[in-house]
Amino acid sequence: MNSSTALKNLGIGLAVTGFVLLLGYGLYNFFAVESDLVLKVSIGAIVAGILLVLLTLIKEKMSVEDKGTERRY
């Protein structure tokens, strides 16, 4: 493994770790702070919808074969 690959992997790891920590903090505050039930349900529905669309797109992209591009290594 060369140094650019190691730095790339380190950068991805740090970005994912930061994202997970930020998401955890947001979820903690979302459930810990008193707010209206309608607000919590609407935000939850928006997040669930976005995740559903993203997962569907990822699944579709992975199942489609790339026939138009010839890869040369």
What digits encode the pLDDT tens for the residues 6-62? 888 999 999 999 999 998 998 888 888 888 888 888 988 998 999 899 999 989 888
Quick check: pTM over 0.75? no
Distances (CA, A) of 38 to 5, 44, 54: 46, 10, 24
Q: Has residue 69 been placed in a domain?
A: no
Tokens of 59: 């699944």
Is 26 found in the same domain as 2? Answer: yes
Residue 72 has pLDDT above 90, yes or no: no
Is 43 found in the same domain as 29? Answer: no
How many independent structural domains does the chain possess? 2
| pLDDT tier, 67 (very low <50, low <70, confident <90, very high otherwise) | low
Which letter does DSSP use for residue 33 in this model? Answer: S
pLDDT at 15: 92
Is 40 found in the same domain as 13? Answer: no
Is 42 found in the same domain as 24? Answer: no
Rounded to whole angstroms, how far apart are CA atoms 24 and 11?
20
Structural domain boundaries, residue 20:
1-33
| pLDDT tier, 69 (very low <50, low <70, confident <90, very high otherwise) | low
